[in-house]
Structure 1
């Protein structure tokens, strides 16, 4: 009668390791089952100085539930970005999404279409979407 074999997989930082249990023994082998990629979607928003604080505040108010809906994580800088090969910019925001598809869906959401009107009134800005693993 064949021994019963069960497999358990644990996720490490970027690899899955397989452990096998049989009636006779239990052991882990360092075999890589599959690599896990943490490729995410991003918005990089570069903007000029805010010229309409009320519009910016309204954008922030509208953005909060939208960002939560799409699992967005916002990273801002305290200092203005160092401009090497760019136009005048005073602010930079990196918004992380679980995937590029989710980042695109967020931008296409009708609620965001309402919010973006206030962002564009508050300052000149450029939004770039991209996919990557920023680790």
Structure 2
């Protein structure tokens, strides 16, 4: 089964208020098996547009990624985030097929 991913780009406008969002999302993330792969590290933006923070979160499945987003606990966290940041989020299914150089 392919994993699921959240790919987010975020501009935080109120760091103190954003901390409340981070605290509120911990429970739904744990409930749905979320694992941070990228969390606001150093980056280059050679093409297109960007925001100041980039986040990639892995879930055990695409279904878990969708369920987490739609869970009441995460929906409550979103309201905290909206007051503190602007963001873009894509929920995408992982790829389990052949890789370059593999037969």
Shorter-chain TM-score category? 0.7 to 0.9
Note the alpha carbon deviations across 1:51-107, whole angstroms, 9 max, x for none: 11122111111111111100000121421x322333241110101000011100011
Cα RMSD of the aligned pairs, angstroms, is 1.9
Calculate the TM-score normalised by the size of structure 2: 0.83
Structure 1: 4+ residue segments shifted above 6 A: none
Relative contact order (alpha carbons < 8 A, sep ≥ 6): 1 or 2 greater? 2
Which runs of no fewer than 5 residues in structure 2 stay unpaired? 97-103
Residue 114 of structure 1: aligned partner: 76
Which runs of no fewer than 5 residues in structure 1 stay unpaired? 1-36
- Which structure shows the bigger proportion of residues in strand conformation? 1
**Aligned equivalents of 2:46 and 2:57: distance in 1?**
22
Seen in structure 2, the aligned counterparts of structure 1 residues 121 and 86 have a Cα distance that, compared at 3 Å, is farther
- Which structure shows the bigger proportion of residues in helix conformation? 2
The one of 13, 28, 37 aligned to 1:66: 28
State how many pairs are aligned.
Answer: 96
